[in-house]
Structure 1
Amino acid sequence: MIDWNEDQVELREGLAAWHEAFSADHVENDDSGTFSWQKWKLVRESGIVSLPFDEQWGGLGQDLLTTMHVLEGLGEGCRDGGLNFSITTTICSVGVPVEKFGSPALKQKYLPRIVAGDAIGAHAITEPAGGSDALRMRTRAERDGDEFVLNGSKTFVSNGPVADLFMVYAKTRPEGGPLGVTAFLVEKDTPGFEIGNPIKKMGLRTSPLSELYFDDCRIPAGQVCGRVGGGFMVLDHVMKREILYSFIVNVGEMQHRLHRCVEYARERRQFGNPIASYQSIANKIVDMKIKLETARKWLYDTAQKLVRGENVTTDMAIAKLLTSQANVDTSLAAVQIFGGNGYMAEYGLEKDVRNAVAGTIYSGTNEIQYNRIASMLGLS
């Protein structure tokens, strides 16, 4: 495991001072599906969105591993899972690709707003007909002089109803395969661009989700992120960070859940003994610990390989699979350990289950991850 230095520890502890405020009314807000603008104001003040970005844009200039370390602390300390997800989505969806692939003009115009948290970000990839098959996307962008004209729709867009900036992936060459997709940075008030109403969902309810519609939406050619036809290169870079950042938050959430279950099992007595003394309960908690540590190790090890420039296709898929499934398994175990109390909304544990299920779907479904690993093994 990594030995964190004093600066890394202090940074995580400093941002931990915001966690209680981030967590306020998390059960009630989840019940109503409310995105809290007051909390987002606190997010801006905390500076957490600025973690991985260069100081010239107002960022904290932290490397990949340090950013993950602090985001793990966010998961451990903040009980509003939807807010956590909106934070990592903003970082990854527009901030990461603009800093890596954006032109100097794009960086100058947008990065200070993104880094400050003044502009909430979202990325638009999935379409109703395509699902996980991104190559089947039907959204088109046709060149017309110094502009591209977008037509089509996107679905399952996290942060959609509240976002200011959208990284939209569209086909610029219908028969071009992976080389026919381009990434465009689109502002919310662009003519021809409509944001659908929030869609009710199972979990992560404080992170709103919607569809997007493009009807002859004209985008200046200067809003292309990367190069025309290079959208999948942008997306690959983004998805690696999305998995590392969002799922290390889940590791922090699992750490909090483990601590809570240990404390409860020691205090709760049944038949004259703490329930921790019963092997059936103790084994559940031990399994939680094993799954937590396995997920943590895979994510950090994969991040270290990525920093070294190694091929992490298989590692990333395994890390995503392990962490998302561990999050589901440990959340269900926590409900069982708490018994009837765990089933009650006020304890927040049933919410954890609903939130955890989402992780098996977003960032590439777990079924897709199995396919990816099989392909790397030469099985398909």
Structure 2
Amino acid sequence: MDFSWDSGQRERYELVWNETRTWPDVKEGFFSREDWERCAGLGLTGLSVPAAHGGGGLGFLDTARTVEAFGRGCPDMGLVFATMAHLFACAMPVAEHGAPELRERTLPGLCSGELIGANAITEEDAGSDVTAITTRAVRDGGDYVITGAKSFVSNAPVADVFTVYASTDPAFGHLGLSAFAVRRDTPGLTVGEPFAKVGLDSCPAAMVWLDGCRVPAANRLGREGQGAAIFQSSMRWERTCLFAAYLGRTERLLERCVAHAAERRQFGRRIGGNQAVSHRIARLRLRLEAARLLLWQACWRLDRGEHAVLDIAMAKLAVSEGAVQAGLDAMQIFAGAGVRAGGGIERELRDALPATVFSGTSEIQLEQIAKELGL
């Protein structure tokens, strides 16, 4: 493995970091169309989509490094998450598994920012257990009729295209799942009101209901029964490249902690002179670098065509739990200023908390690691 970045990779990182760090600070409410267009202007909405369809054509490692710069620079982690969820959980399934005609009429808009994508798989009784999905897709001539409810769909209130997972043959469990690209204006598709969340506030999320939605068979991704495999394929992108944003976020917090420890004085000296503070920051750096190498290794193996199941699970676990611990460390170091809303530290912690849940909980990653070890 060689992680000495070439000039093009370094320039891309610097461009994204330097541009996004000048963006407006986090505001109340959800991201705006102007915010989305800024992301699209840097090519972030289509980084890994093939260039033939308007994307950047980047592989796993190049995409992850660019997303890391995005997470480090952008003041709003909710916007970062929304953009990457759009790319990895909607655009990439279409790019990798959609029919040529579907790719041609969908991907250019997703890459340019004209269209916003969302992923609809989670249900009230089907979170980690995708075999419990009850949404049905029944073939009717040249269409499928989809009926069901999705309980947690990020970007739903503003999405134009949904990747919907439904059972076409319940008797086969996860082997009976299929995936579809469903447009927002499809009759029978209803999006609920946005609900409040613990973090990632600017990314709206809501329930989605599908009541007899008639979707052309041409909008099916892959073959019938390939839905679980397609979802896992999208998770390979998400558990690596989306979580690279949290590497950038952790580095951003580390820089703030170092600066604060060097400037803040208590009892007549810098707080960084206290081992209780300096060692906390040193461990923060240690966790960051370890998680970064795990994630880069997973991306390197994916680029080589390896499945990298163990590497992905370890990277996702290390990055997500490291991000939460970084938020807790920063809150302790900043003390009252870290607890008070408005200073940004408490928001960083809130934005990190969902990372141990979405894209597979920490417990699921531990189970995957144990399974790969033969346990």
- The TM-score normalised by the length of structure 1 is 0.96
2:86 aligned with 1:86, yes or no? no
Other-structure match for 1:339: 335
State whether structure 2 residue 268 is matched by structure 1 residue 272: yes
Cα distance per residue 1:225-269 (max 9 Å; x no partner): 111111111111100101112110000000011011111101111
The answer to whether the Cα contact below 8 Å between 1:93 and 1:166 also exists between their aligned partners in 2 is no
1:1-380 alignment, distance < 5 Å = 2-22=3-23, 24-26=24-26, 28-29=27-28, 33-379=29-375
User: Any conservation in 1 of the 2:146–2:210 contact (CA below 8 Å)?
Assistant: yes
In 1, Cα distance between the equivalents of 2:90 and 2:143? 20
Return the offset for 1:189.
0.9
Q: Secondary structure of the residue that 2:171 maps to in structure 1?
A: coil
- CA shift for structure 1 position 186: 0.2
User: Quick one: distance in 1 between partners of 2:39 and 2:71?
Assistant: 14
Q: Structure 2 regions of 5+ residues with no counterpart?
A: none
Opposite residue 80 of structure 1, the aligned amino acid is D
Q: Which runs of 5+ in 1 are unaligned?
A: none
Measured in 2, the distance between the counterparts of 1:268 and 1:199 equals 38
> What secondary structure, in the 3-state scheme, does the structure 1 residue paired with 2:243 have?
helix
Q: Distance in 2 between matches of 1:313 and 1:104?
A: 29
Per-residue deviation, residues 150-207 of structure 1 (Å, max 9, x unmatched): 0111111111111110000000001112220000000011001111110111100100
Contact 1:21 1:39 in 2 (8 A): no
Deviates more, 1:311-320 or 1:182-191: 311-320
Give secondary structure in 1 for the equivalent of 2:214: strand
* Conservation of the 8 A alpha-carbon contact between 2:60 and 2:302: no
Taking the aligned partners of 1:21 and 1:108, their CA distance within structure 2 comes to 34
CA RMSD of aligned residues (A): 1.2
Q: C-alpha distance in 2, partners of 1:59/1:247?
A: 20
3-state DSSP of counterpart to 2:179: strand
Matched residue SS, 1:123: strand
Give the secondary-structure state (helix, strand or coil) at the position aligned to 1:43.
helix
Secondary structure of the residue that 1:302 maps to in structure 2?
Answer: helix
Identity percentage of aligned residues: 40
Structure 2 counterpart of 1:182, which letter?
A: S
- The one-letter amino acid paired with 1:297 is L
Q: Is contact 1:360-1:366 (8 Å) kept?
A: yes
Q: CA deviation at 1:97?
A: 1.1
Q: CA deviation at 1:307?
A: 1.6
Q: What is the letter of the counterpart of residue 47 of structure 1?
A: G
Return the alpha-carbon distance in structure 2 between the equivalents of residues 154 and 293 of structure 1. Answer: 37
CA distance in 1, matches of 2:352, 2:16: 24
Residue correspondences, number: 374
1:16 Cα offset (Å): 2.8
Q: C-alpha distance in 1, partners of 2:307/2:77?
A: 31
Could you list the per-position Cα deviations for residues 42-78 of structure 1 after superposition, in whole angstroms to 9, with x for gaps in the alignment? 2222222222122222222222211111110011111
What TM-score do you get using the length of structure 2 for normalisation?
Answer: 0.97
When structure 1 is superposed on structure 2, of 91-100 and 186-195 the one drifting more is 91-100
Deviates further, 182-191 or 49-58:
49-58
Contact 1:78 1:84 (8 Å CA) reproduced = yes
Offset, 1:38: 2.0
Confirm or deny: 8 A CA contact 2:25 2:75 kept in the other structure: no
Is contact 1:44–1:116 with CA below 8 Å preserved after alignment?
Answer: yes
Cα distance between partner residues in 2 of 1:102 and 1:289: 41
CA distance in 1 between partners of 2:4 and 2:21 (Å): 26
Question: Is the CA contact 1:156–1:211 (under 8 Å) kept in the aligned structure 2?
Answer: yes
Q: Offset of 1:345 from its aligned partner?
A: 1.4
Q: Secondary structure at the match of 1:342?
A: helix
User: Which consecutive segments of 4 or more residues in structure 1 shift more than 4 A?
Assistant: none
